[in-house]
């Protein structure tokens, strides 16, 4: 937990209205959901069309100014992409000029922990953890911050991977990779856990109670055995074997814990 149990203030953009007892504003909860999500969905507007755009991206929250910051501290979101892509160009344009706060973006991170099956179709649900952040994205230009973000993001995919790859990066690699930094304006999370629930009139209906199965189908992400590339010459190292084991055990436990009646 962060030292002060910080929360994002409830404003128009981030306040959970529907089933608002599921809403969470604690930075620690929101940042944990984001940092454990393998794909973030990033939305932004472009000048040329009426539709917002969503890109699936890889990212991670951290603090370049204070790398020892906790998950519960104010953090920036770093997003990884190709340097000449549309989102990087918009982020670059948003960084220019003294007044520029950056490009307004929304970032969503969602995990499914189970399918919740009830007597009525309308009482079906998911167990899930979802977070949304709003902020302003600018392109990272300082090389030290870019290196910090690349290491942060690489190690978020496989812990300790960065120092187990070929280092240092070449100048061509650094030049072709863009990093966006999102300064967070607000955020919220919505979490559903627990067993199935039905309305009273279904609970009192003996016929449906005796015929409809109710409960949770727990769902989690699993990693199969590592498949070496045709040019690999090395045994599976511990940073990968340990990660695969933890990944499978932790994810399974999370989905089973979520299914317990609250």
CB of 63 to a second copy, least distance (A): 21
- Taking the C-alpha atoms of residue 64 and residue 57, their distance in angstroms, rounded to an integer, is 20
Q: Which is nearer to a second copy, 1 or 13 (CB)?
A: 13
First to last CA, the chain: 22
- For a second copy, give the closer residue by CB, 31 or 130: 130
**Least distance in angstroms from the C-beta of 70 to a second copy:** 25
Nearest distance in Å: CB 195, a second copy:
5
Residue 257's H or E segment, with its range, is: helix 238-259
> Which lies closer to a second copy via its Cβ, residue 180 or residue 196?
196
Which of 1, 203 has the CB closer to a second copy? Answer: 203
Q: Any bridge partners for residue 78, and if so which?
A: 60, 181
Helix ranges, 121-203 (H): 143-157, 171-176, 200-203
Alpha carbons 198 and 92: distance in angstroms, whole number: 51
Q: How far apart are CA 245 and CA 231, in angstroms?
A: 24
Cα 227–chain centre separation: 26
Single out the residue of 231, 223, 203, 220 nearest to residue 257, CA to CA.
Answer: 220
Query: For a second copy, which is the closer residue by CB, 66 or 84?
Result: 84
**Residue 3 beta carbon to a second copy: minimum distance, rounded to whole angstroms:** 28
Query: Smallest distance from the beta carbon of 185 to a second copy, in angstroms?
Result: 8
């Amino acid at each position: 937990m962060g030292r002060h149990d910080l929360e994002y203030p409830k404003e128009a953009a981030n306040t959970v209205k529907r089933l608002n007892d599921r809403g969470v504003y604690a930075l620690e909860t929101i940042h944990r959901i984001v940092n454990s999500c393998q794909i973030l969905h990033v939305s932004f507007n472009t000048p040329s069309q009426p539709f917002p755009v969503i890109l699936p991206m890889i990212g991670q929250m951290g603090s370049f100014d204070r790398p020892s910051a906790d998950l519960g501290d104010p953090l920036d979101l770093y997003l990884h992409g190709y340097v000449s892509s549309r989102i990087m160009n918009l982020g670059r344009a948003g960084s220019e000029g003294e007044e520029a706060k950056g490009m307004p973006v929304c970032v969503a991170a969602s995990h499914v922990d189970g399918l919740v099956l009830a007597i009525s179709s309308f009482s079906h649900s998911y167990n899930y953890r979802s977070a949304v952040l709003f902020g302003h994205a600018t392109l990272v230009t300082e090389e030290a911050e870019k290196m910090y973000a690349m290491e942060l993001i690489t190690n978020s995919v496989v812990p300790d991977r960065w120092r187990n790859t070929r280092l240092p990066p070449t100048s061509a690699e650094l030049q072709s990779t863009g990093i966006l930094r999102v300064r967070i304006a607000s955020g919220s999370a919505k979490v559903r856990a627990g067993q199935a629930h039905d309305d009273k009139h279904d609970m009192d209906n003996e016929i449906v109670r005796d015929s409809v199965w109710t409960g949770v189908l727990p769902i989690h992400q699993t990693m199969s055995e590592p498949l070496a590339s045709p040019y690999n010459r090395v045994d599976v190292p511990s940073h990968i074997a340990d990660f695969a084991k933890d990944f499978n055990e932790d994810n399974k436990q999370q989905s089973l814990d979520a299914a317990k009646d609250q």
